[in-house]
Amino acid sequence: MKPYYLSLFIALFFLVSPSTWAQPDTMVYHLTIDQAQVSKVAGKQVNGMTVNGTIPGPTLRFPEGAYAVIYVQNNMDVETSVHWHGLLVPNFYDGVPYLTTPPIEPGTTFKYEFPLKQAGTYWYHSHTMLQEQSGVYGSIVIEPKVQQLAYNKELVVVFSDWTNEKPGNVMRNLKRGNEWYNIRKGTATPLNRVIARGGFGAQLNFWRQRMESADIADIYYPAFLTNGEQTQQYPEFEPGDRVRVRFINAAASSQFWITFGGEDPLLIAADGLDVVPVVHNKTFIAVAETYDFIVTLPATGQLEIRATAQDGSGQTSAFLGQGPLLAAPDVPRPDKIGMMKQMAQMDMRMGAPAMKFNPNKVTPYELMHHWGMQMEPVMEHSAPSNSSMHSSPTSPMPEEKQRMSMKQSSVTMGTMAHDHMDQDQHAMPQGEQSSPVAVSDSTPSQEMVHFKMNHARLRVPQYDTMSHHAAKKEEAMRGMSMPGNVQSNSGISMPGMEMPGMEMFAEYNYDYLKSPEKTSFSNDKPVQEILLNLTGNMWRYIWSLNGVPLNESDQLKIKKGEVVRITLNNLTMMHHPMHLHGHFFRVINKNGAYSPLKHTVNVPPMQKVVIEFDANEYGDWFFHCHVLYHLNGGMARIFSYDTPRDKRLLDAPLVNLVNEANQFFTWGTADVASHMTEINLISSNIRNQFNVSVEYGWNKNLEAEVSYERYLYDYFRVFGGINLENKNENSLNELTPTAVIGFRFFTPYMFNLDARIDNQLRPEIRLSREIMVFPRTAVFGTYEYQANFGWINYSNDENRDGRTTYQGETTWSAGVEYFLSRNFSLMASYDNRFGAGGGLSIRF
C-alpha cells in the first residue's frame, strides 16, 4: 500500500469510528417499546405499554464518565419518544418530540448517544402524549467513580400510579369535570360534611371564587406501584445491611410521602446529586423527583418502606429483609375541609384565570398582585430600620408574646439569616445586590425569597393576627425589603409574615436539602428575572403559565452566560412539580449559597418558590409541570437560547407538540327518564366549543339547539346557534327555528348564566347550578325566562290572537342525581314543561 493510501486509510479510520473506537467506555442498551396486555390490579387485564416487556422498564446502569448508546425500537402502532430525565445531554437527544428530537415512528428505531457527565439516580420516560401513564418509564443509575458513602447494597425503587382506564379517557373525564374520581377516592367534600364541620362559610368563600374545594389530586388510581407491583418483597437483605435505596417517582400525577420503618434513614441525594447527609424519615417525593437514602436493616425483622399518596387515597410498600414487620409510620389523610377553612380565613384570592382575553399581552406582575396570597404584615411598612421588634398598635397579640415568638423564631432562623448575609448575594436586600439585573420591572425576588422562607418555616402563634390588618400586598412586599438593612429585613418579616395557615404547606419546603458545595453564581453575571404564575382552571381542566397555555404562548428567550432567576408563583389550589430540561437549577431555601440543585421542584398551592440557573446551553428546552395531565392541559413553556433549529428536525414541526395542549375532547350525557329524554353533546378545545342539545318530553314538547361558542377567557364565552322549539304541547308539526346569539358566564358562586336574544328580538336568561350535597348525591336546578316585547310582529302564528304587547315565558326544572358509577347516575326531576319523573343519566 502506497503511503498516500495508508494515510488516507488512517484518516478515514479515525473519521468514521469515533463513537465505537474512540470511546472505550461505551455502553450500549437496546430498549423496545411495545403495547401489551398488563395486569396491575388483581384480575384486570388492560392495554398498557412496556419497555422490554415490563413496567417499569429495565434499569440502565452506567459507570460515571461512560458514553451511552441507547437504541429505542418502537414496536407500537403509534409514535413514541424517550426523554432522559435529569441527564444533561446534547439538545438533540433530549427526547422531547418535535421540540428537540424527531418522534420515533411505529416500526422504527432511534439511536440516542451521549457522554455521561453525571453520577446518581435518574430515570427515563416517554414524552409523547400520555404514554408515561401507560407504562413507558424506567430507571437510570450512574455509579460514581469514587464511592464516599458507606453502604454495601443497593436497591432501585420506582414508584408509580396505575389506572385501568385509557389515559386519554382519564383526560376526557377531567376536561368534562366529572366528579366521579373524587367520589371514588372518597376525597369529595359534599355539602353535608362541610356543614357538619362548620365550614359552610368557608365553602361560600370558595364558591364565590369559583372553587369547589381544596383539591389535592385529580385522578382516581386503583393501584400505586413499587417497581411495578402494589407490594414488593426483598427478603435477600440481611440484618446490618446498609442499603442505598434509589427512589424515583415515575407516577403520572401522584405525589407521595415516603416513610420508613425501623431506624430513621439517611437522606444522601436529591434529583441525582449528593446533598449534605441528613437523618430524615417522612419525605415528600414530588412527581419526577428522585431521592437516595441509606437505610440500615435491623438486627431482626423486615423493614417497610411505604409511599402514601399525598391525598391519602392509597399506598404502596417495599419490604426489606425477613422476620417480624417494622411498619412504616402512617401518614394521616389530609383534612380537605380543614384546609378549606384555613384558606378561607386567609385573604387568598383564588381562581386566577387559566387563559386570557388577549394571550399576547402577558402581564405576570398584574396577575401576581391581583391574585393569590394577600400578604398583610403586622409591621407598618414604615417600620424603623433596626432589628428591634415593633409591634403594630392594632395587633391583638400582646407585645410580650410577640417577643417570645420572635425569640423562638430567631433560634430557628439564626443560621439562615446569617447564611444569607454572608453567603448568598441573591437573598440580600437590593441595596447590596451587585449583580446587574436584566429585567428591572419586577418585584425583586430576594424579597420573595425571604417571604417564602419565612412563611414556610415560622410557626403561627396567633391565628387571626393577619386578618386585622389591611395592607395591600404590594405594600407588604415593599415593607419586607428595607434596602440596605438586612437586620430589619429579617426582623420585620418574622412576626409580620407569620401568616395564619402558612404552616399548612410548611412541610413541603426543601429546607432539609443542602448542597455540599456552594451553588451560588458569581456576582458579575447578569441576571434575567422571570415571573411565572402557575395558573389553572379545574372546571375546564386548562393549565397554563401566566394565564397562557402552551399553545398560545411565545417562547421564553434566554441568553447564554446569564443567570435566569424564575419566581414560580402558584395561583392554583394544586401542587405543581415543575421540571426544567437540560439544566439543574438552584432551589433557593434557607441554606442560602448552599441551596440545593434540582431538576424538578414542587410548588405548593398559593405559594412562591424561587429557582435560578446558569444559562450555559444552546437550543430549545422544555419547562413544564410534570403532572402529566397538567402538562397536557397546557402548563408548559419553551425556553429558547434562540440558536438555529437542528436540521434533523425538518420533518418534525414544533406545532405538533404545541397543539397537544389544544386538542378537542368530545363527551355527552343522556337522561332517559319517565317524563323526558335529554341528550347533550359537547366538543371542546381551549377556545372553541360545539354544543348540541335535545330535550324531548313524552308530552311531545321538544326543544333542540345547536350552538358554537368561543371562550374569551375562562368564565366568559360568546355563542351563536339555532334553536328549535314547539310552541305548545303536542304540536311537533309547529316547530319554529330561531337563530340565537348571546353569552355564557360562569358566575361567582358558580352559576352558569346564559343570556341571549333570538332573531325575533326576544331576550332570554337562564341560570343553572349543580351542588354535591351528599357523598354521591347532587341537586341541580335551571331557571329560564324569556321575554317577548312584541318588537317584531309576524303576521302568522306568533300574533294570531291579535297584537301582543308583552309575554313572558318561564321554564324551570329542579332535580336530584345519585352517582352510581363513572358513567351512570340515577336522576329524578321536575320540569314545568314535562312534569315530574325519574330515570337514568348516562355519561359517555
Taking the least distance from each CB to Cu ion, the nearer of 604 and 815 is 604
Taking the least distance from each CB to Cu ion, the nearer of 428 and 627 is 627
Residue 627 CB, nearest approach to Cu ion (Å): 4
The burial class, CB within 10 Å (0-12 / 13-18 / 19+), for 353 is: buried
**Which stretches does DSSP call E strand in 200-289?**
223-226, 231-234, 242-249, 256-260, 266-270, 273-279, 283-285
Segment contacting Cu ion by CB under 5 A, of 524-532, 548-556, 573-581, 640-648: 573-581
Beta strands 702-713 and 716-725, pairing class: antiparallel
Calpha distance 618→641 (Å, rounded): 5
Residue 830 CB, nearest approach to Cu ion (Å): 41
Segment contacting Cu ion by CB under 5 A, of 5-13, 153-161, 574-582, 604-612: 574-582
Q: Is 171 in the site for Cu ion (CB under 5 A)?
A: no
Residues 629-648 that bind Cu ion (CB under 5 A): 630
Calpha distance 321→325 (Å, rounded): 9
Residue 282 CB, nearest approach to Cu ion (Å): 23
Residues 131-160 that bind Cu ion (CB under 5 A): none
Q: What share of the chain is helix, strand, coil (3-state, %, to 5)?
A: 20, 40, 40
With CB under 5 A as the rule, give the number of residues binding Cu ion. 4
Residue 216 CB, nearest approach to Cu ion (Å): 12
Taking the least distance from each CB to Cu ion, the nearer of 87 and 534 is 534
Residue 253 CB, nearest approach to Cu ion (Å): 8
- Mapping DSSP onto H, E and C, the string for 169-199 reads HHHHHHHHCCCHHHHHHCCCCCHHHHHHCCC
Residue 448 CB, nearest approach to Cu ion (Å): 20
Taking the least distance from each CB to Cu ion, the nearer of 212 and 218 is 218
Residue 271 CB, nearest approach to Cu ion (Å): 17
Taking the least distance from each CB to Cu ion, the nearer of 377 and 577 is 577
Calpha distance 835→817 (Å, rounded): 17
> What sign does the dihedral 280-285-288-294 (CA atoms) show?
positive
Q: Which of 113, 96, 91 is nearest to 646 (CA)?
A: 91
Taking the least distance from each CB to Cu ion, the nearer of 83 and 244 is 83
Residue 632 CB, nearest approach to Cu ion (Å): 10
Taking the least distance from each CB to Cu ion, the nearer of 53 and 177 is 177
Segment contacting Cu ion by CB under 5 A, of 105-113, 221-229, 421-429, 575-583: 575-583
Taking the least distance from each CB to Cu ion, the nearer of 126 and 632 is 632
DSSP string, 573-633: SS-EEEEETT--EEE--TTGGGPPEESEEEE-TT-EEEEEEE----SEEEEEESSHHHHHT
Taking the least distance from each CB to Cu ion, the nearer of 624 and 675 is 624
Distances (CA, A) of 359 to 353, 536, 712, 717: 12, 14, 10, 15
Taking the least distance from each CB to Cu ion, the nearer of 576 and 756 is 576
Q: Give SS3 for 667.
A: strand
Taking the least distance from each CB to Cu ion, the nearer of 130 and 740 is 130
Q: If you ran DSSP here, which 8-state letter would residue 413 be given?
A: H
Calpha distance 540→140 (Å, rounded): 36
The burial class, CB within 10 Å (0-12 / 13-18 / 19+), for 570 is: buried
Contact 588, 612 (CB under 8 A): yes
- Give buried/exposed letters for 364-379 (b at 16+ CB in 10 A, else e): bbebbbebbbbbbbbb
Calpha distance 440→25 (Å, rounded): 47
Taking the least distance from each CB to Cu ion, the nearer of 453 and 625 is 625
Binder among 576, 675, 762, 843 for Cu ion (CB under 5 A) = 576
Task: Name beta bridge partners: 308.
Answer: 257, 315
Residue 539 CB, nearest approach to Cu ion (Å): 16
Calpha distance 147→408 (Å, rounded): 40
Phi-psi region of 206 (alpha: psi -120 to 50; beta: other; left: phi over 0): alpha
Q: Which residue has the cell 416513610?
A: 259
Taking the least distance from each CB to Cu ion, the nearer of 55 and 661 is 661
Residue 400 CB, nearest approach to Cu ion (Å): 44
Calpha distance 739→757 (Å, rounded): 8
Q: Which residue has the cell 384546609?
A: 339
Residues 226-285 that bind Cu ion (CB under 5 A): none
Calpha distance 233→732 (Å, rounded): 68
Taking the least distance from each CB to Cu ion, the nearer of 521 and 623 is 623
Residue 586 CB, nearest approach to Cu ion (Å): 21
Residue 575 CB, nearest approach to Cu ion (Å): 7
Segment contacting Cu ion by CB under 5 A, of 363-371, 413-421, 491-499, 576-584: 576-584
Instruction: Please state whether the peptide bond connecting residue 56 to the residue before it is cis, i.e. omega within 30 degrees of 0.
Output: yes
Residue 625 CB, nearest approach to Cu ion (Å): 3
Taking the least distance from each CB to Cu ion, the nearer of 630 and 762 is 630
Segment contacting Cu ion by CB under 5 A, of 282-290, 352-360, 502-510, 571-579: 571-579
CA angle 293, 295, 299 (to 5 degrees): 180
Segment contacting Cu ion by CB under 5 A, of 5-13, 362-370, 480-488, 569-577: 569-577
Site string for Cu ion, 487-516 (x = CB under 5 A): ------------------------------
Segment contacting Cu ion by CB under 5 A, of 47-55, 67-75, 570-578, 665-673: 570-578
Calpha distance 566→609 (Å, rounded): 8
Taking the least distance from each CB to Cu ion, the nearer of 270 and 288 is 288
Taking the least distance from each CB to Cu ion, the nearer of 534 and 676 is 534
Taking the least distance from each CB to Cu ion, the nearer of 286 and 750 is 286
Residue 578 CB, nearest approach to Cu ion (Å): 8
Cell of 792: 317584531
Calpha distance 207→746 (Å, rounded): 11
Residue 630 CB, nearest approach to Cu ion (Å): 3
Contact 828, 781 (CB under 8 A): no
Residue 635 CB, nearest approach to Cu ion (Å): 5
Q: Which residue has the cell 359552610?
A: 200
Q: Give SS3 for 493.
A: helix
Residues 613-632 that bind Cu ion (CB under 5 A): 625, 627, 630
- CA end-to-end distance (rounded Å), the chain: 76
Number of neighbouring beta carbons within 10 Å of residue 788: 19
Residue 661 CB, nearest approach to Cu ion (Å): 13
Residue 577 CB, nearest approach to Cu ion (Å): 7
Residues that bind Cu ion (CB under 5 A): 576, 625, 627, 630
